[in-house]
Amino acid sequence: MLKLYRILLYLYPTAFREEYAKAMEHEFQDELADAQSGFPVVWLWMRLLFDFTISLPVQLAIEIGRDSRHALRFWAKRPWQTGFAVIALGVAIGANTGVFSVVNALLLRSLPFRDPAGLAALVHFLPPHDSAAQFDSWRRHSNYLQDAALFEDGDLNIGDPQHMLRAHIAMTSRNFFSLLGSLPIIGRTFASGDHGVAVISYGLWQELYAGSDKVLGKTIRVYGLQPHPDEPLRIIGVMPTNFDYPASTVLWKSPEYTRGNNGWAAIGRLEPGIGWTKARAAFAADVHHLEPHRRFRADWIPMMMPLADELAGHVKNASLLLMGVAVLILLIACANLANLMLARTADRQHELSVRSALGASRPRLIQQILTECLLLAIVSAGLGLIVAVWATSLASKVQPAPLPSQTYTILDVRVLAFMVGVAVLSAVLFGLLPALSVGRIHLFAARGSTELRSSRIVRDVLVAAQVTLTIVLLTASVSVIQAVSQELHIDRGFRADGVVTGSVALDGTVRDKPGLRLHYFEEVLDRLRRLPEVRNASSTEFLPLLSGKFIGGPYAFDGHPSAQGTAADVIPIMADYFATTGGHVLYGREFTDAEVRSNAKVVLVNETFARLWLAAGRCRRTHGHRSGWDRAKDRRRRPKP
């Protein structure tokens, strides 16, 4: 029992323990001898533990306050050094906390679904889509998926002509919500036999219906759906505030299987006890069985991945890379501060020697140094809090979180605990060596005495580590900058500088008629082209690099059958499209307004398509003449006057 009591005494601050520990230990031995055994011993320990819980925080506060006041007086004598230390460490702590808020939101925080670890995204997968019965048969006979659901999402107009909204809606299979394990706050989700019904989000409920409980049974129109372009939908449920999957959806519609589900996205839930390795192998075999003759493009290979990883996308790898960079910055800052604290300790040899001569023990001096380091880390964390808020806000603007529940914020228990942990760890990293060096200080050392050789070696090692980490960080930064620069200078076939875009949808408006749609866009473009600030203007259904829609299909040349595995995306554009985007027409010309107006059977193809055409032998070189395609490429290489 005496050993246990001594361990408890070590929890007290050094000064208190040095002054009172022996007396308290003797008193405990006397009381223990009087108690002997049984209930008196239990009562003794109860009183001791109660005294510990009362006196220990008080003594810690007293001694930490005394050491903190001493540290503040010392800092006031060297404001520039202290300011540099606070800024360096604050930026490092703030950068780590800001990046960790993104990692926490995307990788650590659970998705707002039931058992999110078992949810899988079936990426680039084309499940059986000829009929609802075919898809249902496939998912029920799957031996690795407990359930699977489909959805198709996009932007459409909803509301009425007097109050029209452009919103993101999703058409889902009836088991979509049950697979995710998400329940509405009022009403219900889809059931067998539902047609022409919808579930809306909490935000849309507040915006259109002011949160009225009478929303159930009301109708809302969705314009642009095929085959019913202005179908009225009956509202049957409202989802919670944190549910807007997929992609900020505000309205979910019951399925319309009459047009199949070709191109829909698929999600699934793994069977209990099925690991990801086994499930992926079974999925690959399933893909080969369903589509044995399909040739997959390198960027279109079906794969199964956790839904959380699919939602995080490329942000996951980027955030982990930034986390590594932030850790390097923190280590460099700690090496800097450790060097600074060692130099300060050497300058304070006279002061510390005098305190040692007056009775301060080595543990007491070490406690003083560590308290100063911890106080410095706490003050730096206050500055880091501002840096973290700025970094988190910047990340939210550059790449918003995919779901409301994954919003980047530092107002999270895990993020704040991480920040406190980083601050304490930093204090230990840059304060441990200076604290240990205190024990080597000679008594009554003169202020100008020479530093110990071991201290100089430690400082040299710290400088070397600092230089090494800085070189690593600079090398990584240069590599990242070069990669970004190369990406920025890749010729994508268009120029984004000076180009302004806008989205217009006519579904449900007075212009929503075949004869008026084209006239509307021609009128808008004509007005834009007359503006003095506008050089060119055009219109397209998809912006460059965003044509990931399921539009297009196999193609053939001059009556020849299409080759197996060939497919092309088709993007509708109007006149002056390439002149507006800064694209190059290598050979030929753009569409004219007359061709657009008359729906002429003309197309423009890209360079890859043209090369495939040549490789297929559809455009042959004859009689030694070079093709127009080759002559066009020569003109492109020829320097401009």
Cβ count near 267 (within 10 Å): 25
Contact status, residue 217 vs residue 230, Cβ threshold 8 Å: no
Residue 414: name the closest of 73, 108, 169, 148 by CA.
Answer: 108
Percent of the chain with pLDDT over 70: 73
Instruction: Output the CA–CA distances (angstroms, integers) from residue 458 to 143, 176, 341, 452, 561, in the order listed.
Output: 61, 62, 12, 10, 77
Q: What is the pLDDT of residues 514-538, one digit of tens each?
A: 777 788 888 888 888 888 888 888 8
CA quadruple 222, 225, 228, 230: dihedral positive or negative? positive
Q: What is the pLDDT of residues 451-460, one digit of tens each?
A: 455 556 666 6
Q: C-alpha angle with apex 86: 84 to 92, nearest 5 degrees?
A: 105
Contact status, residue 366 vs residue 69, Cβ threshold 8 Å: no
Using 50, 70 and 90 to split pLDDT, how confident is the model at 109?
Answer: confident
How far apart, in whole angstroms, are the C-alpha atoms of residue 85 and residue 338? Answer: 10
Q: What are phi and psi of 236, to 5 degrees?
A: -120, -5
Strand pairing class (145-160; 197-200):
unpaired
Q: What is the pLDDT of residues 534-556, one digit of tens each?
A: 888 888 877 776 655 455 666 66
pLDDT of residue 450: 47
pLDDT of residue 638: 39
Q: What are phi and psi of 558, to 5 degrees?
A: 50, 45
- Top pLDDT among 347 and 280 is at 280
Contact status, residue 377 vs residue 427, Cβ threshold 8 Å: yes
Tell if the pTM clears 0.75, that is, is over it: no
Using 50, 70 and 90 to split pLDDT, how confident is the model at 640?
Answer: very low
- Top pLDDT among 45 and 170 is at 170
H helices within 142-195, ranges in order?
A: 176-180
How far apart, in whole angstroms, are the C-alpha atoms of residue 430 and residue 424? Answer: 10
Contact status, residue 582 vs residue 594, Cβ threshold 8 Å: no
State how far Cα 95 lies from the chain centre.
15
How far apart, in whole angstroms, are the C-alpha atoms of residue 327 and residue 476? Answer: 13
Q: What is the pLDDT of residues 366-419, one digit of tens each?
A: 777 788 888 888 888 888 899 989 988 888 887 777 777 778 888 888 899 999
Beta bridge partners of 573: 540
How far apart, in whole angstroms, are the C-alpha atoms of residue 105 and residue 85? Answer: 30
Q: 3-state DSSP call for residue 81?
A: helix
> 624 pLDDT exceeds 60?
no
Q: What are phi and psi of 320, to 5 degrees?
A: -65, -40
